[in-house]
Amino acid sequence: MNKENVFEQLEHIVGKDFVSNREEDLYIYSQDPGASLPRHVDFVVMPENVEEVQKIVKLANQEKVPVIPMGGGLTLSGLIIPVKGGIVMDMKRMNSIIEINALSKYALIEAGVTTGQLLSFLNENYPNLQPPVPDAPPSATIAGNVLIHGSGYLSQKYGNHGAMINGLEVVLPNGDICKMGSCAVSKYWFARGPIPDLIGLFISSFGTMGIVTKLSVQLFDKPKFREVVFGLLNDPNDIPNILLKITETGLAEDVLIGMQDKPDWMKGYVFIIAYVTGESQEEIDSHIKIFKRIYRKAKARYMKTAERIRKVYLEKPIFAAAAADYRKGGGFEYVGANMPLENLPEAYKKGAEISKRYGIVPTLGSRLIGGTHNIVMFFSYSFNRADPKDMENAREALHETNKLALELGGIPWKAELSGQQLILKKMDPNYKKLFNTIRSILDPNHIMNPGNWEVK
Partner 1 sequence: MGGEIKITINSEQDWKDIVHRCFRCGYCKFTQNFSDFNCPSYRKFKFETYSTGGRMWLIYGIINGEIQWNSGIANVLYACSTCGNCIENCRFDKFNDFLVDFIEAARVEAVNNGFCPEKQKVLLERTENREMFNPYGEINSNNEELKSKYNLPDNAEWVYFIGCTSNYRQKNLRDATLNFLKKAKIDFTLIDEHCCCSPIIRTGQTKPVKDFMNYNLAQIKNTGAMKVITSCAGCYRTLKKDWSKFETDLGIEIFHTIELVKKLLDEEKIKFKSEYNKKVTYHDPCHLGRHMGVYEIPREVLKQIPGVELVEMKRNRENAWCCGAGGGVKIGYPEWAVEISGERLEEAKQTGASEITSVCPFCRTNLSDANQKYSMNFEIIDIIEIFDKLDYEIVD
Ligand X SMILES: Cc1cc2nc3c(=O)[nH]c(=O)nc-3n(C[C@H](O)[C@H](O)[C@H](O)COP(=O)(O)OP(=O)(O)OC[C@H]3O[C@@H](n4cnc5c(N)ncnc54)[C@H](O)[C@@H]3O)c2cc1C
Contacts with partner 1, residue ranges (CB under 8 A) = 17-18, 20, 22-25, 27-29, 31-33, 38, 44, 46, 72-74, 90, 92-93, 114-117, 119-121, 123-124, 137-139, 317-318, 321-322, 324-325, 328-332, 384-386
Q: Is 59 in the site for ligand X (CB under 6 A)?
A: no
Tell me how far, at minimum, the Cβ of 250 lies from partner 1, in Å.
31
Binding partner selected for residue 94 from partner 1, ligand X, none, CB under the kind-specific 5 to 8 Å limit: none
Point out which span in 228-236, 262-270, 303-311, 318-326 binds ligand X (CB under 6 A).
318-326
Tell me how far, at minimum, the Cβ of 385 lies from partner 1, in Å.
5
Please say whether the beta carbons of 366 and 377 come within 8 A.
yes
Measured between alpha carbons, how far is 144 from 317 in angstroms, rounded to an integer?
16
Residue 445 φ then ψ, to 5°? -90, 5
3-state secondary structure of 222: coil
Tell me how far, at minimum, the Cβ of 314 lies from ligand X, in Å.
15
Alpha helices (H) along 64-207: 115-125, 142-146, 155-158
Q: Is 148 in the site for ligand X (CB under 6 A)?
A: yes
Binder to ligand X among 320, 361, 417, 423 (CB under 6 A)? Answer: 320
Pairing of strands 252-260, 363-369: antiparallel
Nearest residue to 366 (alpha-carbon basis) of 327, 325, 410: 410
Q: Is 75 in the site for ligand X (CB under 6 A)?
A: yes
> Residue 68 or residue 411: which is nearer to partner 1 going by CB?
68
Q: Is 47 in the site for ligand X (CB under 6 A)?
A: no
Binding partner selected for residue 390 from ligand X, partner 1, none, CB under the kind-specific 5 to 8 Å limit: none
Tell me how far, at minimum, the Cβ of 322 lies from ligand X, in Å.
9
Measured between alpha carbons, how far is 341 from 376 in angstroms, rounded to an integer?
10
Binder to ligand X among 52, 66, 81, 135 (CB under 6 A)? Answer: 135
Return the exposure string of 386-400: e unless at least 16 CB atoms fall within 10 Å of the residue's CB, then b.
Answer: eeeebbebbbebbbb
Q: How many C-alpha atoms does 36 have within 13 Å on its Cβ side?
A: 26
Q: Is 74 in the site for ligand X (CB under 6 A)?
A: yes
> Residue 323 or residue 442: which is nearer to partner 1 going by CB?
323
3-state secondary structure of 382: strand
CA dihedral angle for residue 93, residue 204, residue 244, residue 355, rounded to 10 degrees: -90
Binding partner selected for residue 431 from partner 1, ligand X, none, CB under the kind-specific 5 to 8 Å limit: none
Please say whether the beta carbons of 249 and 301 come within 8 A.
no
Tell me how far, at minimum, the Cβ of 290 lies from ligand X, in Å.
26
Binding partner selected for residue 204 from partner 1, ligand X, none, CB under the kind-specific 5 to 8 Å limit: none
Binding partner selected for residue 25 from ligand X, partner 1, none, CB under the kind-specific 5 to 8 Å limit: partner 1
Under DSSP, the state recorded for 37 is P
Please say whether the beta carbons of 140 and 115 come within 8 A.
yes
Map the footprint of ligand X across residues 91-110, applying CB under 6 A: 91
Point out which span in 10-18, 203-211, 379-387, 436-444 binds ligand X (CB under 6 A).
203-211
Please give the C-alpha separations between residue 308 and each of 302, 305, 313, 314, 315, in angstroms, as whole numbers.
18, 8, 9, 10, 11
Q: 106: Cβ–Cβ under 8 A, 6 or more apart, which residues?
A: 100, 166, 189, 190, 216, 217, 218, 219
Point out which span in 19-27, 63-71, 254-262, 401-409 binds ligand X (CB under 6 A).
63-71
The site for ligand X (CB under 6 A) is made up of 68-76, 79-80, 91, 111, 134-137, 140-141, 143-145, 147-148, 150-152, 206-207, 211-212, 320-321, 324, 449
